[in-house]
Amino acid sequence: MTDSGRLADVESGREGDPFSVLGPHELGTGTVVRAFVPGARAVTVVDEDGGTLAQAEAIGDAGLFEALIVAMPPRYRLRIEDATGTRTVDDPYRFGPLLGELDAWLLAEGKHLDLHRVLGAHPDTVDGVRGTRFAVWAPNARRVSVVGDWNAWDGRVHPMRLRREVGVWELFVPGVEPGARYKYELLGARGELLPLRADPVAFRSEVRPGNASVVAPPSSHAWQDAAWLEARGAKQRRDAPIQIYEVHLGSWRRVPEQGDRFLTYRELAEQLIPYVVELGFTHIELLPITEHPFDLSWGYQTTGWFAPTSRFGSADDFRAFVDAAHAAGIAVILDWVPGHFPTDAHALGNFDGTPLYEHADPREGYHREWGTYVFNLARNEVANFLIASALYWLREFHIDGLRVDAVASLLYRDYSRKEGEWIPNAYGGRENLEAVAFLQRLNATLYGLVPGIATFAEESTAWPGVTAPTDVGGLGFGYKWNMGWMHDTLRFLERDPLFRGHHLNEISFGLIYAFSENFVLPLSHDEVVHGKRSLLGRMPGGDREQFANVRLLYAHMWAHPGKKLLFAGGEFAQRGEWRAQASLDWHVVHGAHRGVQTLVKNVNRIARSTPALYERDCEPAGFEWISYDDVRNGVAAYIRWDAERDGHLICVVNFSGATRTEYRIGVPRKTTYREVLNTDAAAYGGSDVGNGGSVTASDHPSHGRPFSVTLTLPALSAIWLAP
């Protein structure tokens, strides 16, 4: 018989091996069945047909019952009488181990890429009984219980089995159906009771402010995007047009007449996707929709790496959104955050009473700037957790790409740390070698297992080889955000146009390194918050000049080498800063704002139909300066070439506040050039100063070329010319 100490531990919730006490145990005289049912008046062991096998005897008054059965059938159930009545349930402690040997080995090695299949909460039928399988990694906990709506959140009722070989706790709980809320209750490494934890591999969570995990049903979504998945690789190559609309789903548009509520994923499919198509973008990039507790973190303080946020609906609702995007020819990129996680009590920090997911030393494991924990990427299980999360989004939701946030914070051990606040690597340097290995493994795995996807690095330093292949020592990303271009260009355009000619190096400098990586030119959410003002508000001058500068910026950006990204609201030059807690300022979309919106539609349309503007975005042969040093006039001009160096487009930008007439530039051919874009056109809100639609080259040499054209350049404008 089990000693009284073990029974007392069950009653007090301190027993770490519940299967050695509860459930069926063979004795020489039969089989003893023990159950712990707090509040029960009587417990009867019955067979599958409800026939009585034995009346259980109460052991003490805390809820422990024990019955001896001489002839034990293969299966039994428990009939429980309590204050609510009588019910018959299956005993969780009669079921055997759930985790297979191969799964356990892969988990222990940190190589289980289908982590979501074995951890988390899975509705299932085991031995003919419906219920839910629960499994969680917590190797240093002394006891783990699953608590939820069905057991009054009492951690004594459903303690779990520890698979010691891998540190995973598991339990099949009969009768628990999709929709049930749950968490894990843990006794830490020192036996201390920890705050209830959400499931790290939960597939659904409560709507905030609640933070319980929710048992999710299996997906019933029938995907319709097979043709898209087959063809998408060609749409994300370096020689393809990639024009990204970045959006925060919670603030793109709300429903003011219904309490300013969010749009759902399905409503966004009906409204956002057609809008993106109308604007001519090729991709939607979503600020993180991985579950997060705090709206104003914008999703960057993730607590659910496998759960689409419930703010906008269910996982299948999100699948429907992605499917609708693909049907419309739009790729979906998801912002994904492997660098850090929040300190919320229900999240990953000190998960099993030890620094399990984070570094133990705060000099490695805590971001002072963000108030968050840093993942310990040197631990195989942690790296595997993150890579499995990335794969989950790509495979289960057909996401086309991941934009990895804050890569610089991963790469440098002294990132945002003062002297003495960081630990050098094994060689005494500041480089985070474990993070480098993780990023290389991440990209090699994703590209190797999911055809046609792309990864994007938000990396703000000059770290070499971010987009170089991993087999030559690179990090293996598909693309890198060009933060230098963004900072230089915005700093330049914030200057008074009278003095810009003396700072043209801020425009030309980026071409020194423009082809060192596969770059995306980002005008992202980060540039229109925290007092930086909107893009329109950052421009000098009055209304007319500010709008002209924004139109000039977009034409220069779309003609510049690199893929394009624009944050929502920028397409109509929203005047106010972006606010995550409110809709974009849709009420201003008329007049000059409508003109900017029309311009964005047209630059997207022209760029997608002009190979010179995308085929060699990442190659120096696709770009050629005409002039970048006209200090007096504040004008720059350059050529974009297509892959065959046959088709080309010329961009001439007048950064000054004065109209330039009879302005001569050298051109590569003696032909007539169409003015395919003029940002001063009346349709865009300009003054309609231009060149009558075309100009013809003459034999007059200029800028080292035998041919030239003379142009009228409106103030604060850009002109595109195509032969």
Percent share of the chain, pLDDT over 70: 100
Active-site residue flag, 267: no
Regarding whether 336 and 264 lie in a shared domain, the answer is yes
Regarding whether 107 and 30 lie in a shared domain, the answer is no
How many helices (H) and strands (E) the chain has is answered by 16, 38
Unique residue bearing structure tokens 């639609």: 693
DSSP 256-312: GGGTTEEPPHHHHHHHHHHHHHHHT-SEEEESP-EE-S-GGGTT-S-SEEEEE-GGG
Look at residue 60 in the predicted model and tell me its pLDDT. Answer: 87
CA distances from 228 to 179, 339, 479 (A): 32, 31, 21
Please write the tens of the pLDDT for every residue from 18-48.
Answer: 999 999 999 888 999 999 999 999 999 999 9
Please write the tens of the pLDDT for every residue from 529-559.
Answer: 999 999 999 999 999 999 999 999 999 999 9
Q: Which amino acid belongs to residue 723?
A: P
What letter does residue 203 receive in the DSSP assignment?
S
Domain-located, residue 564: no
Six token digits for residue 216: 């999710």
CA–CA distance, 541 with 672 (Å, rounded to integer): 35
CATH of the domain at 679: 2.60.40.1180
Regarding whether 266 and 199 lie in a shared domain, the answer is no
Regarding whether 83 and 57 lie in a shared domain, the answer is yes
Q: Which amino acid belongs to residue 447?
A: Y
How many structural domains are present in the chain? 4
Contact status, residue 513 vs residue 561, Cβ threshold 8 Å: no
Regarding whether 109 and 35 lie in a shared domain, the answer is no
Q: Of 36, 64, 91, which residue is a domain's last?
A: 91
Tell me which H or E stretch contains 484.
Answer: helix 483-493
Helices (H), 501-618: 505-508, 535-538, 543-559, 591-608
Six token digits for residue 595: 């003109």
- Does pLDDT of 407 surpass 80? yes
412 band by pLDDT with thresholds 50, 70 and 90: very high
Domain-located, residue 592: no
Beta strands 563-567 and 243-247, pairing class: parallel
Please write the tens of the pLDDT for every residue from 416-443.
Answer: 999 999 999 999 999 999 999 999 999 9
Domain-located, residue 604: no
Domain-located, residue 279: yes
Coil/strand/helix, residue 608: helix
Regarding whether 293 and 181 lie in a shared domain, the answer is no
Domain-located, residue 582: no
CA–CA distance, 326 with 562 (Å, rounded to integer): 24
CATH of the domain at 310: 3.20.20.80
Look at residue 330 in the predicted model and tell me its pLDDT. Answer: 98
CA–CA distance, 663 with 351 (Å, rounded to integer): 67
Closest CA to 333 of 285, 291, 300: 285
Q: Of 44, 72, 91, which residue is a domain's last?
A: 91
Mean pLDDT, all residues of the chain: 96
- Does pLDDT of 635 surpass 70? yes
CATH of the domain at 87: 2.60.40.10
Please write the tens of the pLDDT for every residue from 303-341.
Answer: 999 999 999 999 999 999 999 999 999 999 999 999 999
Coil/strand/helix, residue 671: coil
Regarding whether 109 and 71 lie in a shared domain, the answer is no
Domain-located, residue 597: no
Whether the model clears a pTM of 0.85, i.e. scores above it, the answer is yes
Regarding whether 168 and 22 lie in a shared domain, the answer is no
- Does pLDDT of 4 surpass 80? no
Regarding whether 353 and 246 lie in a shared domain, the answer is yes
- Does pLDDT of 1 surpass 60? no
Mean per-residue pLDDT, 242-254: 98
Closest CA to 245 of 616, 563, 618: 563
Residues in the chain, overall count: 723
Mean per-residue pLDDT, 222-247: 98
Regarding whether 30 and 165 lie in a shared domain, the answer is no
Regarding whether 425 and 406 lie in a shared domain, the answer is yes
Q: Looking at 90, 246, 458, 617, which residue is catalytic?
A: 458
Cβ count near 277 (within 10 Å): 14
Contact status, residue 17 vs residue 147, Cβ threshold 8 Å: no
Active-site residue flag, 405: yes
Domain-located, residue 554: no
Domain-located, residue 648: yes
Regarding whether 421 and 313 lie in a shared domain, the answer is yes
Look at residue 69 in the predicted model and tell me its pLDDT. Answer: 94
Mean per-residue pLDDT, 590-619: 98
Six token digits for residue 202: 């939960």
Q: Looking at 358, 405, 517, 615, which residue is catalytic?
A: 405
Q: Which domain holds residue 130?
A: 101-214
